[in-house]
């Protein structure tokens, strides 16, 4: 388990950050609570035993250094990651510790690969962006489905959400992303990101039972278009979203997620259906579970655990599917999600 390692959580009092702190405690780590609001940090610490509080701001490098001092790793849960990722990565490199984040912002993840791949590899450091429901889980599923294939023609990732009540952080990150791409949408085709101003298509996707065939927004592009092509030779990566969830996300009237169980999870359920195609051959992988924000915590914490115990395949900036044994990683999360190949 965690063997008492101190792990800094930047943005600890945010919606996903709280799940990460709880997961760290359950697995025997000692979470170090960090973020820019000392009052929120103290309030969070009062709900758990023996938490170390270290206020820090991305605008103050010294405060980040103090926050990470003596820790074994850092998990960045504070969006927008266009603002926080680079300063926290820089602090992690100075501290000589692994960095993991839960960024779903496409452009922020592109920046991480572009700006830190060479530096992190040269330093023998580990930087894992998008180690969350979007970006991380999809990449693990595609990698598992690929199996012994070294390349594929297409990868399709269909998100079957029964609804999507976005957090304030999700809305803020979406605003930043839309601004960076001038309101355009993005897709990954012909081996590159392509920005478009037209409306995305509405299609049908045949999910496994009991969900069945559902209307989806085609080219509802998420961080998987960064993580998957970062290590797999797949020139076409498409993601899809059930239309009900997409509508809730876009509506300003949709409330934030509400806890309905003792772990703080919402009633939201998800089914992620992955299809990879090479010529006439197809392979599939499926994951099901509950609450896309809550499940990001075991994804990120399992990543830290494997990094600290040497169960990695590379150094530098790497996505989940590249640095970890994807099928084994997914099976290790059996108490949080179900994983099947079909």
Give the three-state DSSP class for 104. Answer: coil
Give the three-state DSSP class for 325. Answer: coil
Residue 293: per-residue pLDDT:
98
Note the pLDDT tens digit of each residue in 183-206: 999 999 999 999 999 999 999 999
What top-level class would CATH report for the domain 6-132+296-327?
A: alpha beta
- In order, the DSSP letters of 176-239 are HHHHHTTT-EEEEETTEEEEE-SPPPEEEEEPSTTT-EEEEETT---THHHHTTTTSB-SEEEE
Note the pLDDT tens digit of each residue in 79-104: 999 999 999 999 999 999 999 999 99
Task: Identify the band that residue 1 occupies on the pLDDT scale cut at 50, 70 and 90.
Answer: low
pLDDT higher than threshold 80 for residue 49: no
- Mean pLDDT of the region 100-126: 97
The residue length of the chain stands at: 342
Residue 328: per-residue pLDDT:
98
Q: Which residue, 60, 118, 130, is CA-closest to 93? A: 118
Q: Which residue, 169, 37, 20, 63, is CA-closest to 108? A: 169
Instruction: Please state the domain extents for the chain.
Output: 6-132+296-327, 135-291
This prediction's pTM = 0.97
Residue 259: per-residue pLDDT:
97
Give the three-state DSSP class for 109. Answer: helix
Choose the weakest-confidence range: 45-49, 101-105, 212-216, 315-319.
45-49
- Mean pLDDT of the region 196-223: 96
- Mean pLDDT of the region 177-185: 94
> How many CB atoms are closer than 10 A to CB 252?
5
Q: Which residues pair with 276 in a beta bridge?
A: 155, 283
- Mean pLDDT of the region 234-245: 98
Q: Is domain 135-291 given the CATH code 3.30.360.10 in the classification?
A: yes
Residue 325: per-residue pLDDT:
98
Residue 4: per-residue pLDDT:
85
Shared fold status for 6-132+296-327 and 135-291: no
Q: What is the mean pLDDT of the chain?
A: 96
How many percent of the chain have pLDDT more than 90?
A: 97
Task: Identify the band that residue 139 occupies on the pLDDT scale cut at 50, 70 and 90.
Answer: very high
More reliable by pLDDT, 281 or 49? 281
Categorise residue 17: left if φ over 0, alpha if ψ from -120 to 50, beta otherwise: alpha
């Amino acid at each position: 388990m965690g063997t008492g390692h101190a792990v800094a959580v930047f943005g600890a009092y945010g919606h996903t950050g709280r799940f990460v702190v709880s997961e760290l405690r359950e697995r025997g780590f000692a979470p170090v609570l960090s973020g820019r609001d000392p009052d929120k940090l103290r309030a969070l610490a009062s709900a758990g035993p023996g938490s170390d509080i270290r206020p820090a701001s991305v605008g103050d490098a010294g405060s980040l250094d103090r926050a990470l001092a003596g820790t074994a790793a850092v998990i960045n849960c504070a969006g927008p990651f266009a603002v926080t990722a680079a300063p926290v990565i820089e602090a992690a490199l100075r501290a000589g510790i692994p960095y993991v984040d839960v960024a779903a912002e496409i452009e922020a993840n592109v920046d991480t690969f572009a700006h830190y791949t060479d530096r992190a590899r040269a330093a023998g450091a580990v930087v894992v962006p998008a180690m969350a429901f979007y970006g991380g889980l999809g990449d693990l599923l595609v990698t598992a489905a690929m199996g012994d294939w070294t390349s594929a023609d297409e990868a399709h990732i269909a998100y079957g959400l029964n609804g999507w009540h976005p957090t304030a952080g999700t809305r803020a990150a979406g605003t930043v992303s839309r601004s960076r791409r001038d309101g355009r949408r993005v897709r990954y085709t012909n081996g590159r990101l392509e920005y478009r101003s037209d409306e995305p298509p509405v299609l049908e996707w045949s999910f496994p039972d009991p969900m069945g065939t559902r209307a989806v927004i085609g080219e509802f592009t998420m961080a998987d278009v960064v993580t998957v092509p970062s290590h797999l030779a797949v020139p076409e990566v498409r993601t899809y979203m059930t239309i009900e969830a997409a509508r809730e996300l876009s509506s300003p009237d949709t409330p934030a997620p509400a806890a309905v169980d003792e772990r703080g999870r919402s009633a939201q359920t998800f089914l992620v259906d992955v299809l990879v195609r090479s010529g006439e051959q197809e392979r599939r992988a499926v994951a099901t579970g509950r609450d896309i924000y809550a499940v990001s915590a075991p994804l990120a914490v399992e990543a830290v655990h494997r990094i600290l115990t040497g169960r990695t395949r590379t150094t530098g900036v790497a996505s989940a599917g590249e640095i970890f044994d994807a099928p084994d990683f997914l099976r290790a999360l059996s108490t949080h999600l179900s994983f099947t190949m079909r």
